[in-house]
């Protein structure tokens, strides 16, 4: 099986970007080890703190964030970082070429139940027209991403990543410690019979989403005349990995609950990196009727509605969205 670095070189990735990717993956291996140790690593349970999102921080949230933050700020190719767990951006090395944003531990509510969790990361070119410690470093549409990916800490530790070309899947070889290429190019079928959404929010959705999901549930008796199945991992990394590997559509729409008027998922370090992975695997990724990668960010912790996956199914959902 092919190793990571020869694959990246074949994809014409610059040496300095390869070195930065290696920094991120070094942190992922440490996180993977601690996750695999579970209670033995003393990383289960919650801290007494909340992050800027108002979410109680799990011990592993804090550990994973600190690992990535320390290793990235020690990498002289990194000008600025942003994290779900950091209120503001943190400046690194002046004049460095890259900025990095990450969700250090996506799916925190799954940690204590040994469920799927992961790290999501994205790399942009640094901006020379704003200061290194300015949030405006990340005021770039997702189509500017140089690289995006996630590490899924599941039964196997898997890296799914794109550097602008195909979305590729690697598996961490626990014996030798390297990521080996296990799926050369992920491809999402244009159609699907599997959807992912948190059905508990049904009565909070706006009517377009309610009507769309209702037709999926009606199966052969509904307008779609097709039987659908449902899955919900409560961790975007797990749901998106399923969509990338066996197809489907994933939705986290806006709803009427307090604080959910723009949905729950964050544009910078959840929606954008996943959108690039999905599009480079032949899928679509929209926020309402707008392509996620075209959104001009307003601030680093901005939330957006997300629908992504099989291109014809995303189009079917968008057809329910009336022009407001």
With CB under 6 A as the contact rule, the residue among 25, 64, 236, 274 that binds ligand AFP is 236
Give the tokens for residue 171: 């598996």
Under the criterion CB under 6 A, does residue 109 sit at the interface with ligand AFP? yes
Contact track, ligand AFP, 181-200, x by CB under 6 A:
-----------------x--
CB 98, min distance to ligand AFP, A? 25
With CB under 6 A as the contact rule, the residue among 11, 16, 30, 55 that binds ligand AFP is 55
Listed in sequence order, the DSSP H helices in the chain are: 4-10, 15-37, 59-73, 207-218, 236-246, 272-279, 311-318
Nearest residue (CB) to ligand AFP, 217 versus 234? 234
The Cβ-side half-sphere exposure at 276, using a 13 Å CA radius, reads 29
Nearest residue (CB) to ligand AFP, 126 versus 265? 265
Give the tokens for residue 67: 């690992």
Q: By rule CB under 6 A, what count of residues binds ligand AFP?
A: 12
Residue whose Cβ sits closest to ligand AFP? 236
Cα–Cα distances (Å) from 88 to 33, 82, 140, 303, in that order, read: 28, 7, 16, 16
Under the criterion CB under 6 A, does residue 108 sit at the interface with ligand AFP? yes
Give the tokens for residue 12: 């014409």
Give the tokens for residue 158: 């898997």
With CB under 6 A as the contact rule, the residue among 235, 276, 304, 314 that binds ligand AFP is 235
The phi, psi pair for 78, rounded to 5°, reads: -105, 120
Residue pair 255/197 in contact by the 8 Å Cβ criterion: no
- CB under 6 A: which stretch of 32-40, 69-77, 216-224, 229-237 binds ligand AFP? 229-237
Under the criterion CB under 6 A, does residue 264 sit at the interface with ligand AFP? yes
Nearest residue (CB) to ligand AFP, 170 versus 252? 252
First CA to last CA distance, the chain = 51
Under the criterion CB under 6 A, does residue 107 sit at the interface with ligand AFP? yes
Nearest residue (CB) to ligand AFP, 218 versus 234? 234
Under the criterion CB under 6 A, does residue 106 sit at the interface with ligand AFP? yes
Nearest residue (CB) to ligand AFP, 107 versus 142? 107
- Strand intervals (E) in 163-228: 168-173, 178-183, 194-196
Nearest of 263, 52, 163, 22 to residue 65 by alpha carbon: 52
Strands 306-309 and 284-287: antiparallel
- CB under 6 A: which stretch of 66-74, 104-112, 180-188, 278-286 binds ligand AFP? 104-112
Residue pair 53/301 in contact by the 8 Å Cβ criterion: yes
Nearest of 205, 192, 207, 302 to residue 239 by alpha carbon: 192
Nearest residue (CB) to ligand AFP, 53 versus 182? 53
- CB under 6 A: which stretch of 103-111, 150-158, 209-217, 273-281 binds ligand AFP? 103-111
Q: In the complex, which residues of this chain contact ligand AFP (CB under 6 A)? A: 55, 106-109, 198, 234-236, 252, 264-265
């Amino acid at each position: 099986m092919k190793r990571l670095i020869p694959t990246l070189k074949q994809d014409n990735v610059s040496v300095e970007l390869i070195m930065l990717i290696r920094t991120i993956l070094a942190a992922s291996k440490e996180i993977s080890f601690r996750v695999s140790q579970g209670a033995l690593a003393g990383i289960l349970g919650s801290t007494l703190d909340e992050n800027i999102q108002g979410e109680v921080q799990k011990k592993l949230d804090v550990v994973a964030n600190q690992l990535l933050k320390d290793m990235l700020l020690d990498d002289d190719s990194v000008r600025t970082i942003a994290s779900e767990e950091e209120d503001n951006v943190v400046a690194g090395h002046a004049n460095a070429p890259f900025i990095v944003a990450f969700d250090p531990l996506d799916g925190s509510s799954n940690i204590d139940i040994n469920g799927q969790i992961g790290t999501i990361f994205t790399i942009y070119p640094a901006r020379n027209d704003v200061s290194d410690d300015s949030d405006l470093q990340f005021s770039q549409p997702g189509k500017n991403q140089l690289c995006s990916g996630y590490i899924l800490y599941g039964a196997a530790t898997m890296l799914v990543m794109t550097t602008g070309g195909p979305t590729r899947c690697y598996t961490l070889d626990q014996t030798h410690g390297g990521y080996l290429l296990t799926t050369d190019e992920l491809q999402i079928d244009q159609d699907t019979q599997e959807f992912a959404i948190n059905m508990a929010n049904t009565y909070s959705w706006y009517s377009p989403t309610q009507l769309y999901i209702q037709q999926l549930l009606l199966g052969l008796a509904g307008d779609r005349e097709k039987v659908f199945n449902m899955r919900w991992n409560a961790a975007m990394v797990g749901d998106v990995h399923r969509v990338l590997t066996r197809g489907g559509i994933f939705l986290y729409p806006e709803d009427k609950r307090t604080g959910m008027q723009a949905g729950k998922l964050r544009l910078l370090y959840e929606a954008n990196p996943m959108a690039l992975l999905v599009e480079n695997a032949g899928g679509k990724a929209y926020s309402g009727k707008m392509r996620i990668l075209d959104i001009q960010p307003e601030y680093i912790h901005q939330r957006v509605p997300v629908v992504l996956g099989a291109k014809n199914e995303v189009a079917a959902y968008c057809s329910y969205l009336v022009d407001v």
